[in-house]
Structures are given as C-alpha cells and as structure tokens.
Structure 1
Amino acid sequence: MKHILKTLAVASGLLVGAATASFAATEITWWDFLSGGDGVRMKALIADFNKEHPDIHINATTSEWGEPFYTKVRTSAAVGQQPDVMTFHLSRVPLAVKEGVLSDITDEDLANAGLSKSDYFPRALESATEGGKLKAVPFDVHALVLYYNKDLLSKAGLLGPDGKPQGIGTIDEFNAALAKLKEQGVETPVSFQTGGEGGTWRVFYTLLAQQGGKFMDGNKVLDGDNAAKAQKALAVMTDWVSKGFAPQQAEYEASVALFSSGKSAFQLNGVWEVPTYTDLAEKKQLGFEWGAIQVPAWMGQQATWADSHSFAIPQSPQGSITGEKRKAVMTVIGWMNKHSIRWANAGHIPAYKPVADSDEFKKMEPNATYSVLAETAVYDPRSNIAGVGGPIYDAALNIMSPAINGFMTPEEAVTQMQESLGQLAAN
C-alpha cells in the first residue's frame, strides 16, 4: 500500500510539474525611457497587462531619457543582448535604420496584435516607416501646443466667448496681443525654453514649417529659400526676447514656472505639461483658469512640431525575436494601443485612431481641443542627424538659442547651421 501511495505521489508531482511547465508565462524583456508622470502611467499599464495575461509577463526596465537610452540600445544590439521590445521616438527611426537596430514590423505582426496600418494617423505612420517598411508602432502624437491663462486674456479682451484666445491668428495679431499684455503689466507675455535645446527647436521648427520651409532637403541643410525662411523664424523669436515678450535664456523649468505662477499669459510647450497644470488646478495651487490649443497658423500654414512615442522590436546582427515570443510582444503592443486612453491623460493624443475617435477621448480636455493637430503634425527631418538628443538638438542649444538671445544675428546662425550640420548630414 505504501508503495502504491508513493508511486501515486510521484506521478502526481510529475503531472503538476508538467502542467506548471506547460503554462509558464512567456517572459518579455521591456526597456523604456519614461519618467515622471509618463513613467507612473506606463508602470500602471504594465502592471494591469501582467494581471490580465497570466501567460505573458513583462519585465520592465527604465533608463535615462534621450541619448543615453539610445546609446544603450545601440550597444546592446551590437552584442546581441537587446530587449524584446522597447519604447522609441519616431524622430530617431532614420538613424536607427542606418544603425540596423530595428526589426521590420510586418502585416502579420500587426494582425497578431489585432492592429492594421489604417488604424493610425497618416503623419505618425509615415514617420514610423522607412524604405517602405514599418519600423515601429506609433503609440501617441505629442506636439507643441499653446497654453493660455484665461484670466489674463479676459482682462486684455483677448478671450472669446468660447473660452479660447481670439485675435491671435496671424503673427502680427499675436505680436500685438503680446504688446497689449506687456502694457497691462504682464511680466512675460509668452514663455518658452529660450535657453535650451528642446523648447527652442520645437518653436523654431514650427515657425519654419508654417512657412512651408524644410530644414533639410535630402542631405542639404536649409538649402535655397529655406535659409530665408529659417532666418525669419529666428527673427520672430529674437523679437519676442528683445522686446521682453519672452524670457531671456530661460531653462525649461523656469519657462514652466513663469506660466504656472501667472507671470506669462501664454506658454509654448509640449502636451506633456497638461498633467502639471491639471494637478495644480485640482490642488487649487494654480490661481487661474487655463486652456491649451494647437499653435495658430501664425506664419501662414497650419503646421506644428510633433514626435511620437512608439513601440519597436530591436534586432542584433544575429536577428530579432521570432515565433511565440514575437507573437507575445505583438500582443503587448496591441493591448497598449487599445488601452491608450489611459496614456492620453498625460496630455498625449492617441496615435491609434479608434481611441482618438472614441467618445471618452472627445470628452478629455484640453486634449480633444488640440487633437486636430495630429492631421497637420510635422515630424523632424528624415535624417540620421535629426531626432531626440541628436546633432540638430545640439545646434538648437549652441546656435539657435544664442541667436534668439541676441548673441548673433539670424543670418549668422543659419550660416553656422548650414556649415556644421551640412558636414554631418553628408557623412
């Protein structure tokens, strides 16, 4: 009898072990660069995905945003130790393709995720594509927007009955509004990062694109009449600073503080600051009503700087993930897109149109108000010198920012960019 019981116990143990093995979760190595509010939201999404999918488990690691993250990706791929999936800025896709670190996302991959190319805004999809191949799956559209202080605009007669700015549709009208606000005692009528790279680049690129200008044409930097358009964009920004409409050499945090403290009537910044002002307002620490709209077509055409967070599958010289693990990764990507309404409350516009078109998103303000910019968004140049943390951002810091603060003329700045970036682009 004891022998029979012992045999049954062994057999039972083997069955349990076999069952456990057969239902072991597929482990997914995930890398992202998301901190602050974005990081909190993504960690919550990952936790919920893991709860809902006992067969798939995401092991997430967060690294430093910008060039440190992309250097880590490049180094890991070179030695075959890359993650299974990662977040990626679409502005970095051209350089990543040149480096060979992105695996193509096929139609079969999208089908495994329950997605299709028609689900996405054309501008985002185009930016995710290189050489006719989809290199990443867009997750959002995050762009430059115009924040505004309703109280200050109302006092100046610049707030319409719909609660949105009025009389600022052209650059001349906007400049007149800034002058009026200054006369009424507003310390810094419009705030943006005038002493750094990101904020300077986004405003400049928007003003350039609104003239129909191209920063790059092939490998040529500010070629032909694009040089004059770039000078005009820099001249507008220089004029704002010289007249005291915008702050001198303001770092990012200072530009945000000027608006949140009520010292600026407008702020040009990314959608990612929406949670900041929402939280301050809820805590009754803001002191005024605010809103955000797409940047008006000041220079003639509706265009706005934009980028997208996306999901990409890295590859090494030995290849990329295949089989069931690849299907699992696409399941993750599909789930994240279909639940991106929770990402949208960080200010982002969902790149996945079924969510962007949903009633829930249409009630989300101010996102729903400025979401129209997804159709006219202008992504960084298709070049290996463009993108987050790239040489163009260095030029914004070392050439554009000094120019708008009066240390060189717009003409001198454009010449320097043509020379320094032109050499890099040709290589």
Structure 2
Amino acid sequence: MRWARAAGRGLLAAALIAAGYAGAGGPATASAGGTGGRGPMTLVTGGDLTGYLRGVLADWNRGHPAEKVTLVELPEAADEVRAQMSTSLRSGSDRFDVLNIDVAWTSEFAAAGWIAPLDGRRFPLKRFLPPVVDTATFGGRLHAVPYVTNAGLLYYRKDVLDKAGEKPPRTWSELRRLARTVAPRYGLDGYAGQFLPYEGLTVNAAEALQSAGGSILADEGSRVTVNSPAARTGLEFLTGGVREGWIPRKALGYKEEESRRAFQNGRLLFLRNWPYAYPLAGAEGSKVAGKFGVVPLPGPDGPGAGILGGSNLAVNTNSRHPESAAALIRYLTSERVQRRVLTEGSLPPARADLYRDPALVRRFPYLPTLHKSLLTAKPRPKSPRYEQVNLAVQAVVHDAMAQRQSPAGALRRLRAELDAIARRG
C-alpha cells in the first residue's frame, strides 16, 4: 500500500482496519516475549471505515471473556497513525497491546525496541506468501506477523486496446508506445500512478528502480545503493514519461484516489494502483465497468518487481498481557479470518492458498494476476530511519519528475541525503 487512501477515504485506512478482521480461529499459545500473561488488551489501528470491525472483535470477546479486546481507532492519515503510535511506544506506555502497523514501519519499530520479537514456530508462517513474511522481519528475527498484503497492478482499458488491435503491455517499451500512440487516438491520457510527493511516490519510485535491477538501500538500511546505472534506468522511465507527455503533468498531484478516479471516469488508458481499485472500477456507475483488465506491472524486459504494501500485526514490548496479544494475532491470521479479509474487506490476504481457491477466483478475477505480482514483489527499503528515507526519496523523485533536476543529478543528490541518514543510524 501502499497506504494512502482507499475506497472512499483511504487505502491506509482500509489496510489499517484489516487488523480487526477475525473469524473462527483456534486459540494461540505463541509467546510474544516478555514475562507472558493473559488478560484484557487493546488493539490499535486506523479508522474503521467498513463498520464491521467492532462486530468482529465482539466475536472474539464472546469466546474469550477474560481476554476482551478494546479497539482504539486513530485518525486515518498514515502520518497521524504513525505519530500517535510512536509517541506512545517511545514513552514506554503499555496502552496498546496489539498494533496494526504498515509493513514499512516494522523495521523502524523493531530497531527502536518498541515491538517484541516473536517465535515464528508458533505462527502459520509457511502458509503465508514468502515475500510477505520478509516484511515482518528485521535483524534476522520475526517482529510481527503478516495480516494484509498488497502489490500494485497495471489496470488497462481492454475495450480500447481491443479496438486498436493491441494487447496489454508486458514491457516498458510496449507501455510507452501504447500510451503515446493509442491513448491520444481515443482522447485519453496515457499512464498514471501515485506521483504526489508522499508515501505513494516512494512506492512508485522503488518499483521502477527495482524493476530495472536497481535498489535504494541494502543491508537493512546501512548501505546506500541508489546511485547505480540500473536505478538511473528506472528513474528515467518515470521522468521520460512526463517529458514526453504520456504521463500527464497533472498526475504529479495524484494519490491513490485521484488516480483511481481518473481511470474510473474514463480519462486514462493505463493506471498503476492497488487491488482495492478493482471492485470500485467495476461497480455500477463506473464508466469503465466491464471495459478494463489487470496485468502485472511491466518492467524493462518483462514483468516488473512490485512493492509490497499491507499491514503486519505486532505486540508492544511493554504489553502486560503478551500471551493474550499473541493469541489474538494467531486468531486474526487464521484461515477463516483471512478469507473474510478478502470477501468482506476486499483486501488481499497474506495466506497463499486462498489465491488458488476456485470460488474466490470466480468472485475476484484479479487474484491469479495479483498472486503472480506478490511472488515477485519486494519490501520497501528497510531502515530503522524509514520515515526519513521516505521523505528524502519522495522529494528528490518528485523534483526529477517535475523536470527540475536530471535523473543523474537526482540520484547523486539522493545518495548524499541517504548517506547522511545512514550515518545518523
């Protein structure tokens, strides 16, 4: 996700509320570390927009009267959620027991000692998609459990490509050609993603750089790798699109919802967005309902390397009841819970077998494509100072896309800024 804004108000909120999705799962015996202990607890998450989170937690509470969960809802905006969580954790508060955190925050929270290491043997990790499990680790240890995952997809106007006698693009060169030639022929803009300087741009940039074989950081943030020929190729894909016009300049102000509406209202040929946009684009009243499809994000020579979004569930190091917290996490990651995440929340589950369920595939036709994308996707740059890394990447990449700095100059500047951040660590 990345987490910015989903249906109605925000992808962040949609991903965050997923921490409350539950179903019938057996009690857990996993220890979160610390001295153990069972009793009442709190689950902290972003605003619940679906309206069924409280009912789901009520199911848990009826079955666990001595371990009742109180829901704490924070504001929807990602920066507000992170700020309130980190302020509480930094102070050593035990107010929150289970935290639903963006996958990109896991490294930062773990490095700070705010979330407890977990015993991976006591969670069904082998049933999860392997790249998703990687988002929950730091320093070679498991510090959270995957709950909701996400990877970007390329949405395309199937009706337009059919009329033009074209197939959906598999490579950047095919995407560029179709966006430059077919789109204007049908009065459409070519391609858009999330290019406003915020978390979404960091995701889009990391996807482009990694698809070209480059990277931003290595060794969990201790080594800066961004100034490479491969990274330059990835950045030039984005900057060239704006310069040549097949990425409209107005897309430099798009977040998830602005880009979704542009596609859904029939103004775009191609869109990079998360799976949440699929049911909305296909809903009654959408101008593209029945007229679009999805494929994996393209790269220079074939499928690209997406960025994993979603949320992980973690236990506060200072929780008074870590055994109960771990039991709740196991409950929330049970097979029935994960099924409800998809069927009721329209959010991609972390468990791999659900992507092969025939009934689910009939209901959610994008699942096979998403499954392929998830298996090749990678986490965002891991760093104990992720928020500073995020701000640096989005600022520099936006300047480059706005044609205020050359790709080569932008990467030199970004390397210097990231080096300074790494030295502070």
TM-score, with length taken from structure 2: 0.80
Q: After the TM superposition, which residues 238-317 of structure 1 pair with which residues of structure 2 at under 5 Å, given as runs?
A: 238-248=239-249, 249-252=252-255, 253-278=257-282, 281-283=283-285, 286=288, 289-300=291-302, 302-316=304-318
Matches of 2:83 and 2:304 in 1, distance apart?
Answer: 35
Shift of 1:408: 1.2
Contact 2:332 2:338 in 1 (8 A): no
Shift of 1:331: 4.9
Please state if 1:359 is matched with 2:358.
yes
Matches of 1:199 and 1:334 in 2, distance apart?
Answer: 26
Matches of 2:47 and 2:158 in 1, distance apart?
Answer: 31
Please state if 1:416 is matched with 2:409.
no
Q: Rate the CA distance shift 1:56–1:351 in 2: closer, same or farther, 3 A.
A: same
Q: Rate the CA distance shift 1:45–1:371 in 2: closer, same or farther, 3 A.
A: farther
User: What residue ranges of structure 2 are gaps of 5+ in the alignment?
Assistant: 1-37
What RMSD, in angstroms, separates the aligned Cα atoms of the two structures? 2.6
Shift of 1:260: 1.2
Q: Rate the CA distance shift 1:191–1:43 in 2: closer, same or farther, 3 A.
A: farther
Matches of 1:333 and 1:268 in 2, distance apart?
Answer: 29
Please state if 1:399 is matched with 2:381.
no
Shift of 1:238: 1.4
- Identity rate, percent: 20
Shift of 1:403: 0.9
Q: After the TM superposition, which residues 4-403 of structure 1 pair with which residues of structure 2 at under 5 Å, given as runs?
A: 26-36=39-49, 39-40=50-51, 42-43=53-54, 45-50=56-61, 56-64=67-75, 65-77=77-89, 78-107=91-120, 110=122, 115-159=123-167, 165=168, 168-218=169-219, 219-222=222-225, 226-248=227-249, 249-252=252-255, 253-278=257-282, 281-283=283-285, 286=288, 289-300=291-302, 302-316=304-318, 321-323=321-323, 325-326=324-325, 328-335=327-334, 338-345=336-343, 346-363=345-362, 364-386=364-386, 390-403=387-400
Q: Rate the CA distance shift 1:119–1:400 in 2: closer, same or farther, 3 A.
A: same
Matches of 1:275 and 1:285 in 2, distance apart?
Answer: 13
Matches of 1:411 and 1:251 in 2, distance apart?
Answer: 24
Q: Rate the CA distance shift 1:334–1:300 in 2: closer, same or farther, 3 A.
A: closer
Matches of 2:60 and 2:398 in 1, distance apart?
Answer: 43
Q: Rate the CA distance shift 1:350–1:327 in 2: closer, same or farther, 3 A.
A: closer
Task: Provide the aligned length of Structure 1 versus Structure 2.
Answer: 378
Q: Rate the CA distance shift 1:239–1:137 in 2: closer, same or farther, 3 A.
A: same
TM-score, with length taken from structure 1: 0.80
- Residue type of the alignment partner of 2:119: T
User: What residue ranges of structure 1 are gaps of 5+ in the alignment?
Assistant: 1-24, 160-164
Shift of 1:411: 1.3
Shift of 1:146: 0.7
Matches of 1:186 and 1:51 in 2, distance apart?
Answer: 56
Contact 2:214 2:234 in 1 (8 A): no
Rg (Cα) greater in structure? 1
